[in-house]
Amino acid sequence: MVNVFSNGTVEQYTLCRMVLSLYCNAGQAIVTKKGDLKSYITVSYHLEVANILSLHDVQNKYKMTHESSMMFVVRKSDGNEHMFKPYKKGLFFSDVKQDLPAY
């Protein structure tokens, strides 16, 4: 499973023991850092990639439902909900500017 973040919600960066070579929106990204994603898990950290969360990891930690309107809703224990809608090519994303406070 791969969880990668690039924005400011990742705290306390450390160097990875193993380098991750990731092919994504930034082309090939060599990931050498990891950090704690606030109130979630440890994630890989790279400034030039989109934020990526493993669906498997999210559903193991939070209550999650698949709505008939083609979206996933993640419900955190504090009552916050985050909606993940499909992008044009089928990858699900959450628009954190419109959601309640981000992870």
pLDDT of 97 reads: 60
Q: What are the residue ranges spanned by the domains of the chain?
A: 4-93
Residue in the structure block whose two tokens are 């990204």: 29
pLDDT of 101 reads: 46
Distance CA 103, CA 15 (A): 22
Residue in the structure block whose two tokens are 């060599």: 30
pLDDT of 102 reads: 41
**pLDDT, tens digit only, all 103 positions of the chain:** 678 887 767 777 888 888 888 887 668 888 888 888 776 778 888 888 778 888 888 888 888 888 766 888 888 888 888 888 888 777 777 776 654 444 4
- Residue 71 tokens read as 């979206």
